C-alpha cells in the first residue's frame, strides 16, 4: 500500500510525464511546420515514449492500492527560434525530469518504500539514456552551426527512429 505522500508524488509524476508527451507533440508540430520531418518523427517517438512512462506510473499506483488522480496539463511552448533552440529546451526539460525522478526516489527512501524504489530504478536508468540521447543531438546541432546540409543529413538520420505517420522509416 502506498502512503498518501508517495501516492501524491506518483500522481504528480504521471502529470509530469503527460506534460512531457504534450511538449514533444508540440515540438513535433513545430518541426512539421518547417518541413523537418525526421526531427518531427524523433519528437513523435519521444511523445509516445513519455505516454508509456505515464502509463507505467499509472499502473504502478493502481497495483500498489493507490488512487490515480489526473490533473490539468499545462500548455507547452509552441514556437522556437531554431532546431538548436528546441534541443536546448529538450535537454533542459529532460534534466528537470531527472530531478523529479530523483526527488521521487528520495521520498521512497525516506518512507522505506522498497517496492517503489525498485520501480523507480528503471526510470533512473532511463533518464541517463534520455539525457545522453538528447545531448548527442544537441552537440551535433552545435557542431554544424549554420551548415544547412548538416541539418538535412541529421533530419534524415533522426527520421530513422520514427516511423508510422510522422516518420519515414528506413528499411
Query: Measuring CA to CA, how many Å separate 28 from each of 35, 77, 103, 118?
Result: 11, 12, 29, 33
Helix axes 114-144, 37-63, angle to 10 degrees: 170
d(CA 68, CA 70): 6
Decide: pTM greater than 0.85: yes
pLDDT of residue 3 exceeding 90: yes
**How many beta carbons lie within 10 A of that of residue 19, not counting itself?**
20
pLDDT above 60: residue 10: yes
Q: Mean pLDDT of all residues in the chain?
A: 94
| pLDDT over 60 (residue 71) | yes
**CA–CA distance, 71 with 16 (Å, rounded to integer):** 10
Q: What is the pLDDT of residue 88?
A: 98
- Of all residues in the chain, what percent carry a pLDDT higher than 70? 94
Q: How confident is the model at residue 167 (pLDDT cuts 50, 70, 90)?
A: very low
Give me the domains of the chain, ranges plus CATH numbers. 4-70+80-164 (1.20.1260.10)
Cell of 85: 533552440
Q: Tell me: the pLDDT tens digits for 111-133? A: 999 999 999 999 999 999 999 99
Amino acid at each position: 500500500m502506498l502512503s498518501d505522500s508517495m501516492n501524491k508524488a506518483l500522481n504528480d509524476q504521471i502529470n509530469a510525464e503527460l506534460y512531457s508527451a504534450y511538449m514533444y507533440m508540440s515540438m513535433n508540430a513545430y518541426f512539421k511546420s518547417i518541413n523537418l520531418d525526421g526531427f518531427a518523427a524523433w519528437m513523435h517517438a519521444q511523445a509516445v515514449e513519455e505516454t508509456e512512462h505515464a502509463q507505467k506510473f499509472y499502473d504502478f499506483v493502481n497495483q500498489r492500492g493507490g488512487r490515480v488522480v489526473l490533473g490539468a496539463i499545462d500548455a507547452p511552448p509552441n514556437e522556437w527560434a531554431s532546431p538548436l533552440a528546441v534541443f536546448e529546451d529538450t535537454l533542459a526539460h529532460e534534466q528537470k525530469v531527472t530531478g523529479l525522478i530523483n526527488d521521487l526516489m528520495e521520498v521512497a527512501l525516506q518512507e522505506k518504500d522498497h517496492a517503489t524504489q525498485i520501480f523507480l530504478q528503471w526510470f533512473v536508468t532511463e533518464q541517463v539514456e534520455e539525457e545522453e540521447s538528447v545531448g548527442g543531438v544537441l552537440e551535433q546541432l552545435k557542431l554544424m552551426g549554420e551548415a544547412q546540409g548538416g541539418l538535412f543529413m541529421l533530419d534524415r538520420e533522426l527520421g530513422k527512429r520514427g516511423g508510422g505517420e510522422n516518420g519515414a522509416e528506413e528499411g
